[in-house]
Structure 1
Amino acid sequence: MNVNKVRRCALYARLSVTKEESVSISRQLHSCRRYAEARGWEVVGEFIDDGVSATVSRPEDRKGWKALLSTSRFDAVIIWKVDRLARRVLDFLHADETLQQRGAGLVAVEDPIDMTSPQGRAFAVMLAVFGEMEAEAIRARVRAARAQLLKDGRWAGGGIAYGYRSAANPDGPGRVLVKDLERIHWLTEAVAMALRGSAVNAVARWLTDVGAPLPGGAKRKVDNVAWNRQTVDQLLRNPILAGMTAHNPGRGKGDKRVDPFAVVRDENGNPVIDESLAVVTAEEFAHLQSILDSRDSPQARKRADRKSTSPFLSRVARCDDCDVYMCRGTNQKRPIIYCPRCKQTLSRTTFDPYLVERLLTERGSEPLAAATVQDRWSAAGNDELARREVLVSQLESLRIRRGVIGRYFDEERVLLRWRAKPLPTGTSKATTADLPL
């Protein structure tokens, strides 16, 4: 890219968390606009990813960056600093390669990088390395601060388990967890029911029937909003029930479930227990986990409670956190896919039509077996296995990442990549392995 010949550019800004010391999205874009105006470049679009961590997400998985790449032709992408695009060296290089493939270059306002020369590219990579080092340093500081809070018996932040709340620390600075007197009796009875042998679904129905408030202060707005199996299962697996603290507290409510026995321990390896928070003993908690685990798989349920599901997504979608295939199942008699490890779920009632629409819209005209994808799909009719073969033939990868519990279908959870389109005859290309049937 020759910066003296650039005429059209796109602006990109990203921010993880808005804080006083952060350079806001608006300030980033303002600096990028001034840069473009000073060089007489035409701005064809402004794209942002607000509240998105560059450490957690790759550029190609972000909504704003994907929208930028799908826009009309541009010659350059202007960012404020290299770390606004990526905090991992490989992520930065992959994003830069994507821009190069479409004949565009990368420009940073605060980092004088020139991606057209070997020296400039080396300097840009060094900046990306420093960004990755800074991210690692931030993580180390957060881990150290959290460890100190736990050692002092204080609340380390994050989601609060149902039946508990945070309160001012009576013995010093910070906050501590205490029982929520308005909700603890619902939790205590739910645990007692499970220990007596009640199924998780039965506990969920009871909580709904008696009008127990939903987690997070949620209120019922329509009649069909109720407690569900996943929420109750998470509630019953939280080690705080025995007064123990999860090894990695502070996870958001939508984050994956941790090992219930991965708890904070003392120098002798024994769990640290706060009796003031416990509703059961450690032995009762362990027994509860064994009961839940024995009923965790669909095969453990009564045959009358099982429901056959469509094989359309069998061994197709992977959990982005655990990198394992998501399984078919049902929740309240509605079809879902779920991760067998972290238990995240996604309703198929909306997801299947969404996936089919994208397949036919984005790949319908692609050649497939002497016809097109659209033709083969139509010929498959209601044969779910035949439809699955059509889908798999076009997929490079399909990954599902976590969303917020209770939120309606969010397409940002779906990380979908189609296979590369066939190149002209005589042009070599790397082959992509088929997904297993």
Structure 2
Amino acid sequence: MNLKQVRRCVLYARLSVTKEESVSIARQLQSCRRYAEARSWEVVGEFVDDGVSATANRPEERLGWKSLLAARDFDAVIIWKVDRLARRVLDFLHADETLQRRGAGLVAVEDPIDMTSPQGRAFAVMLAVFGEMEAEAIRARVRAARAQILKDGRWPGGGIPYGYQSIPNPEGPGRVLAKDVERIGWLSTVVAKALRGETVNSVATWLTDSGAPLPVRRIERTSGSKSWNRQTIDGLLRNPVLAGMTPHNPGRAKSAKRADPFAVLRDEHGSPVVNEALAIITYEEFETLQRLLEARTVPQARKRSERQSTSALLSRVARCEECAVFLCRGTNQKRPILYCPRCRQTIGRAALDAYLIDRLLSERAEELVGGLEVMEAWARAGNDDKAQRAVLVSQLDTLVIRRGVVGRYFDEDRVLLAWSSSR
């Protein structure tokens, strides 16, 4: 890329977590605009990934960067610093290579990089190396701090298990877990029912009918809904805190969204560290409970004759972003859903199907499938969901569903869709 030939540019900004010392998205974009203005470049687009970690998400996995690559007619991408684009050297080089293939270059406001010369490219790679080293140093500090907190018996933060609450540590700094008087009785009854062999579906129904208080986070997400679901129950029953143990999963793979219930804090002899004040069952009972749960292939296992039929439109079409496996069809409270058989994330079908059909017919209407345009082929499919699926699949390259907040409203940002190349 020759900077003198640049006429049109786009801006890109990214931020993992907003902190006092962070350079905000707005400040990043402002600096990029000033850079473009000083060189008389026309800014034809601004793209943002807010709340996205560069360590956990490669550029091509981010919505903002993917939208940038889908844009047209720009000669350069302006970023604030190299680490706003990538924290890994390979990620940086791959992103730069993608831009080069389309004749665009990369410019960093705070890092004077020149990707047109071997020396400039080497310097850019060095900056990416330092960014990767900084990210690893941050991870190491976080791991060490968490390990010390757990060793001290304090609560490290995160989602508080149902039936418990976080209170100030009476013996020093930080916070510790304690039983929640309002909910611990409900939790004990849920565990007792599960140990007797009752299904998670029946337990969820009983909790809903009995008016049991929901988990605090679920109250916030469901905007007043008082219904329990099987995923919530399954998660409660797999939490090792039931036996007074502390979950501890150092180095757990990103795809392993459901934690190993026996990955817990252990002493120097390898035995689980147990806080009797938190336990409501013994370790042996916890083992029995896990065997019962694993004996069911899915939390809502039912006889085939009793299962509610759902549309085949997305059968073996959508994949889970975290686990890279096809999502399965199912129902939740009699509403059709897709769910991941591994990490158990779900997404409602009603809004998802309508969203996909709308995009198919608006963005691919004139593409050909079997000698017909998509619009005509779809009309001929009528209400035959298998025929509709064939039309959709003919146009799809990938359909990935990312984990999100499950609630009343459809979030299209969870849907990562890429059409196949035009025929």
**Is the TM value for this pair above 0.5?**
yes
User: In the alignment, does 2:406 pair up with 1:415?
Assistant: no
2:162 corresponds to which residue?
162
> Quick one: distance in 2 between partners of 1:224 and 1:31?
44
Task: Name the structure 2 match of 1:390.
Answer: 391
1:7-26 mapped onto 2 (5 Å cutoff)? 7-26=7-26
Contact 1:318/1:400, CA 8 A, preserved across alignment: yes
2:294 maps to what in 1? 293
Structure 1 residue 82, shift from structure 2 partner: 0.8
Residue 138 of structure 1: how far off its partner (Å): 1.7
Post-superposition Cα deviations, 1:103-127, rounded to whole Å, max 9, x if no partner, equal 3221101111122233322322332
Deviation at 1:239, TM superposition (A): 1.0
Q: Distance in 2 between matches of 1:107 and 1:223?
A: 48
Contact 2:230 2:299 in 1 (8 A): no
Aligned equivalents of 1:132 and 1:230: distance in 2?
A: 36
Write the letter of the residue equivalent to 1:326: L
AA at the equivalent of 2:232: T
Measured in 1, the distance between the counterparts of 2:223 and 2:340 equals: 28
**1-structure distance, mates of 2:415, 2:90:** 22
Greater Cα offset, 66-75 or 81-90? 66-75
Q: Distance in 1 between matches of 2:13 and 2:384?
A: 45
Cα offset, 1:221, TM superposition: 8.0
Residue-by-residue CA offset, 1:190-226 (whole Å, 9 max, x unaligned): 2222223322122212222222222126279878541
1:78 and 2:93 correspond: no
- Equivalent positions of 1:253-292 (< 5 A) are 256-292=257-293
Match for 1:213: what amino acid? P
Of the structure 1 ranges 255-264 and 32-41, higher mean CA displacement relative to structure 2 is found in: 255-264
Structure 1 portions without partners, runs of 5+: 423-437
Counting only pairs closer than 5 Å after superposition, residues 75-224 of structure 1 correspond to structure 2 as 75-216=75-216, 218=219
- Are the equivalent residues in 2 in contact too, given 1:87–1:135 (CA < 8 A)? yes
Aligned equivalents of 1:205, 1:244: Cα separation in 2:
28
Question: What amino acid maps onto 1:96 in structure 2?
Answer: D
Structure 1, 233-242 or 121-130: larger mean CA deviation: 121-130
Q: Following the alignment from structure 2 to structure 1, what is the Cα–Cα distance between the partners of residues 339 and 16?
A: 28
> In the alignment, residue 195 of structure 1 is paired with which amino acid?
L
**RMSD over aligned Cα, in angstroms?**
2.4
Q: How far apart are the structure 1 equivalents of 2:366 and 2:118?
A: 41
Task: Find the aligned partners of 2:58 and 2:118 in 1 and give their Cα distance.
Answer: 25
- Secondary structure of residue in 1 paired with 2:261: coil
Counterpart contact for 2:266–2:272, Cα < 8 Å? yes
Report the CA distance between 1:274 and its aligned residue.
0.8
**Runs of 5+ consecutive residues of structure 2 not aligned to the other structure:** none
Contact in 1 for aligned 2:247/2:265 (Cα 8 Å): yes
Q: Distance in 1 between matches of 2:269 and 2:221?
A: 46
Partner-residue secondary structure (3-state), 1:417: strand
Deviation at 1:298, TM superposition (A): 7.6
- Aligned residues of 1:256 and 1:402 also touching (Cα < 8 A): no
1:336 counterpart = 2:337: yes
* TM-score for the superposition, normalised by structure 1: 0.88
Output the CA distance in 2 between the equivalents of 1:299 and 1:227: 13
Distance 1:219 1:6 in 2: 48
Q: Could you tell me how far apart the structure 2 residues matched to 1:418 and 1:82 are?
A: 30
DSSP 3-state at the match of 1:399? strand
1:435 is matched with which residue?
none
